[in-house]
Amino acid sequence: MWEISSGQPPFINHGHDCNLAINVINGIRPKIVSGTPTEYKNLMEQCWDADPSKRPDTNTLMIKIREMNFYYQSMSDESEIHNNLELDETNSNTNSRLFTSKIHQFENLPEPRNATEEELDVFHSKPYDYSIPTNIDNSSNQNNSRTSKINSFFKGW
């Protein structure tokens, strides 16, 4: 559900490794994209609950998503729908190596739990934002070969 609302895979700026798996077990979830409809956000958060008995089943998901879809299709002002969600395209070019399956051996894992708002804020704070801007400004206007090579490298991503 998050990938549909954001337009990109979850945790795209984080290594898909044991640390991320432990963070997910400890309740860390992707930051919900601003503009996501409230009903959709609430349903997504229910799906993320650490307690499986609190998650909706597939029939409930299907019914609720159909209801949301019908509501938005029946709205008379289509521009309101399109303006409701802005997709983040900063990482639209994903590296397939990040999404290959890996086998990890886990032992003595903690019980899954829901993270607190504070824990989520810390996880999503700037120290963990490793995205590299595509519009690197060369303020000194020095166009040496090293800078050109670096810029060419990042343009290919």
Q: What is the pLDDT of residues 21-77, one digit of tens each?
A: 999 999 999 999 999 999 999 999 999 999 999 999 999 999 999 999 998 888 855
Q: Model-level pTM?
A: 0.61
Structural domain that includes position 129: 2-155
Query: Could you read off the pLDDT of 93-150 as tens digits, one per residue?
Result: 555 555 566 777 777 888 889 988 898 888 888 664 555 556 655 444 444 444 455 5
Phi, psi of 152 (to 5 degrees): -65, -40
Place of tokens 């804020």: 121
- CB-based contact 2:32 (threshold 8 Å): yes
What is the spatial distance between Cα 54 and Cα 57, in angstroms, rounded to a whole number?
A: 9
Count of structural domains, the chain = 1
DSSP 14-63: S--SHHHHHHHHTT--PPPPTT--HHHHHHHHHHT-SSGGGS--HHHHHH
- Return the number of other C-beta atoms located less than 10 Å from residue 28's C-beta: 19
Determine the straight-line distance between the first and last CA of the chain, rounded to whole angstroms: 26
